[in-house]
Chains A and B, each alone.
Chain A
C-alpha cells in the first residue's frame, strides 16, 4: 500500500473502502475467477478497467502471472498500480479471516475499535464494535452483516448494508467526492450497487435485508430496512436527528435509537449498454417515534434517474432526483480524459431542504439536508514529470439560511504544481476560500458584517534516498480574515520512515504557530493501517510522534505515541505534554 500514490488532498477513501483495500491486500482477488462486478468492487477501479481485464482474460484464456496485467492496453494508472497489490492469479483458499483491534487513548479515556470479517466459500460475515471516549457502553456502536452469493446471480445481505447508486443525491457514493484532484476520478463514477456496511459511522447504514440480482437486463436491488436513529424530540415532534453517533452525555444516551426510519427501495441499473450506464431508484420511507409517526415527519416518496455515457471522447454524467413535496435537485457534468490532460466541469442545484434517505453528493456544506447551487471545474495537465492541477468552485445556498436570514455564497479556488522524480516528489499548493457569512447569528436581529476569507499555502516534499529510508517535509501558511480581524498560521512538519523488514519506525515532529483556531494547521498523523487521521494544530507549540510497526506472517502489530506541548504567549511558558497513545493488532489469514 505504501507504493500507491494517493494524494493527501486528492482521492480520499471512506473507511469502508480502505478496509476493503486492506482486506484485498491480505486476501487478493483471483483474476482468473472474478466476474466483472467483483473486479468493479475494487476501490479506485473503474468499469472500463474491469472490462479491459475481462477482455484480456478472454483473449489469453487465463492469467498466468501478475506481469500480464501491465500488458493490458488502456488500463488506468491507478489500476496498474493497485492490481499487483490486490490481485492474484493463484487459487484462493475457501476460508479467510480478518480481525482488527485498535486502542487509542486520548488523555485519560480510551477509544476501542474491533472489526472482523470471515469468508467461507459463498458466505461472508462481518462486524464492528466501537466505543468512543466518554461513552458508557463497551460496545456503544455495533454493526454487522451476513451476505451470501446464491445461484442465478443473486446476492443476499442481512444486517447493515448500503446502496451506492447514482451520484449520491438519494443514496451513498462509492467514494465521497471532494474538491481537489480526486474530483477528476471520483465525481463521475457511478455508485457500485449493494454493499455490506463496513464503516464505523453509524448514520449511513441501512439495517434490514437486501437482495440483488444481476441478469442480462441489468442489476436489480430490493431493500427493506428499519434503521435506528438518535433524535432530539419535543412532544411528538422531531427537532433534529444526530448524525454523529456519539453518546457521551446522559441526554445523548437517553435519545439513543429513539427514532426508527423504515425504508423500502427498488433500484435498477444497467451498465455498458449502447448509451452507457444508467438507472433509476425508487424509495419510500416512514418514521416511527414512540410507536407512531411523529407529527412533523410524514412519509415521503423518492425517485431518481441517473446516467453516464461517452460521446466524442467526452464522458457525460448526471442525476436528477425528486422527493414528494419538493422541487427536484440535480447534479451533472462532463469529463474529458486524455493522456496528459483531464478536465471536469459540473453543475449542481440542490433545492433548499432536499434530503434523500442517505444523500451524500458533491457539495460545499456537509449537512445531510441539502441547500446549494454551484459550478465546479477542475483541470489537470501533465508535462513530463511536472503536473499542474487547478480547480474552482462558485456556490451559494439555494435559499436563505434559517439562522442568518441570508443566502450564504462563496467561492473556492486552488492551484497545485507537483513534480516527481525517481526518488521523490514535491508539490506546492495555493488555495483561497471566501464566504459571505461564516458565523451564525445567535438571535434573529443581530447583524454580522463582512464574511470570512482563508488563504493557504502548502509545500510538500518526499525523498527516498534508499529503499529503507524516506523523508517527508510539509510547510504551511494560512491567513484568515473574518470581518475586520485577520489571523495568521504557520506550520512545519518533518516525517522520517525507517523500514527494515519486519520492522518499520516512523517519527514526526510538528512545529506550529497559529493565532487562533481559524488559522489552524492540518497535518496527516502517523496513521495505523486503516486510519486516515488528520491532526489539527493550534495555537502555538510543537508535537512529537513515533509509530512502530512489526509484521509477521498473518499479523501486524502497531504502536504509536504522540506528545504535544503548547506555548503560552502571555505567560511565556510551555504546557505539560498532552500525550496520546495507541495500539493496533491486524490479523489476516
Chain B
C-alpha cells in the first residue's frame, strides 16, 4: 500500500514490509507478523524482485528482519535487513534498519556493503503526523569504483481528517537527482478494504493500490492481500503483489 499511495512513507501502516523503508513504523507493531511480496518493475523480467519479512514485538523494542532480492543469474542484488523500532513517550517513535547488500554480476564478480536507514516519526495531534527518513546515511559504496548506493532523505507530513482517510505529502531528495514531490491518499471505506492512489514527480508517476483484509485466514490469524500498480512516462507499468499475515 505504500507503493500504491505514491511511495509515501506513512507511519500508520503496520505491515511487516513497511519497516524496510521506514523503520520507525516498527515501534507501532503489536503482534508478530509475516509478509511476502513479489514485484514486476516495468514488466522487465530481469528486474523482478521479491521480499520476505517478519516482525516481532517485545516489551519496549520491536524487531524486524527481512530478505529481499532483485534480478536473476546475470545480475542479482540481495539484501538482508535487521531493524528495530522504539517509542519515546506517546508521540514520538524512531527506528534503525541495517541492510547488508550484496551485488553479483556474472563473469564480473560481486561485492558487499552495509547501509543504514534511520527514521523518526512524531504525532503533532491524533490527526497530524510528521516523519523524517534517512536512507544509506552512512554513504555505503560498492565495487572497485566505489559506486555510492542511493543516499536519500525525506520529510513527510500526514493528515487524517477522518479515521478512514489519510493524506500525505512528501519531499524526497536523492543526492544524485533533483528533489521529488509526492502526494498520496489512502481510504478505508469498510474495515476489510483499503484503496490508495498517489502522484510522484521527477519522473511523473501515478500509482494506485488496493488491500483486502481477511480475518481468520487460517482461523487463527489476520491476513491481508495487497496489489499496487505504478505508471512511468517512458516505461511499462510496474506491479506488486503482497501477502501479510498477522498472528493473534
Contact = CB atoms under 8 A, between A and B. Distances in A.
A552 B124 contact: yes
A114 B130 CA distance: 14
Given A138-B136, A139-B137, A99 B120 contact: yes
A129 interface: yes
Interface residues of B, number: 26
A456 to B, nearest CB: 39
Interface stretch (A342-350, A370-378, A581-589): A581-589
A99 B118 CA distance: 14
Interface in A406-443: none
Given A101-B155, A138-B175, A554 B139 contact: no
Nearest to B135: A138
B89 A555 contact: no
Interface in A104-156: 105, 108, 110, 112, 114, 118, 129, 131, 136-139
Nearest to B178: A108
B134 A138 contact: yes
B153 interface: yes
B98 interface: no
Q: How large is the interface on A (under 10, 10 to 19, 20 to 34, 35 or more residues)?
A: 20 to 34
Given A136-B139, A139-B139, A112 B130 contact: no
A95 interface: yes
B138 to A, nearest CB: 7
Interface string B111-140: 000000000101011001010101011110
A356 B91 CA distance: 46
A103 interface: yes
A97 interface: yes
B88 A112 contact: no
Nearest to A550: B124
A103 B171 contact: yes
A450 B153 CA distance: 51
A112 B153 contact: yes
Interface string A82-107: 00000000000001010101010100
Contacts of A137: 139, 151
Nearest to A139: B137
B148 interface: yes
Interface string B138-182: 110000000010011101000000000000000101010011000
A555 B155 CA distance: 15
B132 A136 contact: no
B186 to A, nearest CB: 22
A271 B48 CA distance: 70
B134 A587 contact: no
Interface in A252-286: none
A112 B175 CA distance: 11
A118 B132 CA distance: 17
A131 B174 CA distance: 13
A589 B92 contact: yes
A101 B94 CA distance: 14
A138 B120 contact: no
A583 B151 contact: no
Contact of B91 (A105, A118, A129, A589): A589
A136 B138 CA distance: 11
Nearest to B138: A139
A139 to B, nearest CB: 5
Nearest to B179: A110
Nearest to A118: B88
A137 B124 CA distance: 30
B18 to A, nearest CB: 21
Contacts of A585: 122, 130, 132, 155
Contacts of B120: 99
A129 B138 CA distance: 11
Contact of B153 (A105, A108, A138): A138
Given A99-B92, A138-B175, A139-B138, 19 more contacts: A101-B132, A101-B155, A103-B155, A105-B179, A112-B153, A114-B134, A131-B175, A138-B137, A138-B139, A138-B151, A139-B137, A139-B139, A555-B130, A583-B171, A585-B122, A585-B132, A587-B92, A587-B122, A589-B92
7 contacts: A97-B89, A101-B132, A110-B173, A138-B136, A555-B124, A583-B155, A587-B122
7 smallest A-B Cβ distances: which pairs? A138-B151, A137-B139, A139-B137, A552-B124, A138-B137, A101-B132, A587-B122
